């Protein structure tokens, strides 16, 4: 006695679309050529992977005693000792440039009429102050273009 039944399925091929093969002497090709800016993209990737020398300056904050700066990009870590030159790809320098810390200063001032009012000032400074050396002539213009950007 069987414990299950098998459903009979239609196994005949079904027509889903038509494609006509061009003749051998035809100039029609099924391959389409798409033009784009791959060359510019490849040049940008090569530029960002150029080696540059970076030195992260010692920290003047008495509460921050770490000498090792850890920068991770896409799962790969780059370790930079403060005060020592290290050769890294340009994209690591980009992270150092864009890493900023913000601090606020609050206070009260006295107005000429004798009343007081609250003041608040924000300061944005580099998280990792640094020096760099770049052999690429386009490097300085690139650095200047990203150093003052806000994230």
Distance CA 88, CA 27 (A): 50
pLDDT tens, per residue, the chain with 151 residues: 556 566 666 666 666 666 666 666 556 666 666 666 678 888 889 999 999 999 999 887 777 778 899 999 989 999 999 999 999 999 999 999 998 887 778 888 888 888 888 888 887 778 888 999 999 999 999 999 988 776 5
Q: What is the largest CA-CA distance in the chain?
A: 104
Tokens representing residue 56 in the block = 């992260």
Return the SS3 of 141: helix
Tokens of 42: 């490849």
Report pLDDT for 16.
65
Question: What DSSP assignment string belongs to 97-133?
Answer: HH-EEEEEEEEEEE-TTS-EEEEEEEEEEESS-EEEE
Residue 33's pLDDT is: 61
Q: What integer pLDDT is reported at residue 109 of this predicted model?
A: 83
Q: How far is CA 20 from CA 12, 27, 28, 30, 146, in A?
A: 21, 14, 11, 10, 54
pTM of the model: 0.63
Strand duo 85-89 + 51-56: pairing: antiparallel
Tell me which residue of 73, 116, 68 sits closest to 93, measured CA to CA: 73
Q: Give the model's pLDDT for residue 84.
A: 94
């640094």: which residue's tokens? 130
């Amino acid at each position: 006695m069987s414990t299950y039944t098998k459903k009979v399925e239609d196994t005949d091929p079904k027509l889903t679309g038509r494609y006509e093969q061009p003749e051998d002497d035809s100039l029609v090709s099924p391959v389409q050529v798409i033009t784009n800016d791959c060359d510019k993209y490849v040049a940008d990737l090569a530029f960002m992977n150029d080696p540059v020398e970076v030195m992260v300056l010692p920290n003047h904050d008495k509460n921050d005693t770490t000498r090792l700066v850890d920068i991770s990009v896409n799962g790969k870590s780059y370790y930079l000792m403060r005060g020592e030159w290290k050769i890294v790809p340009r994209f690591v320098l980009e992270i150092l440039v864009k890493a900023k810390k913000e601090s606020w200063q609050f206070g009260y001032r006295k107005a000429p009429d004798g009343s007081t009012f609250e003041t608040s000032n924000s300061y944005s400074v580099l998280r990792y102050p640094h020096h760099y050396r770049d052999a690429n002539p386009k490097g300085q213009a690139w650095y200047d273009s990203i150093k003052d950007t806000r994230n």
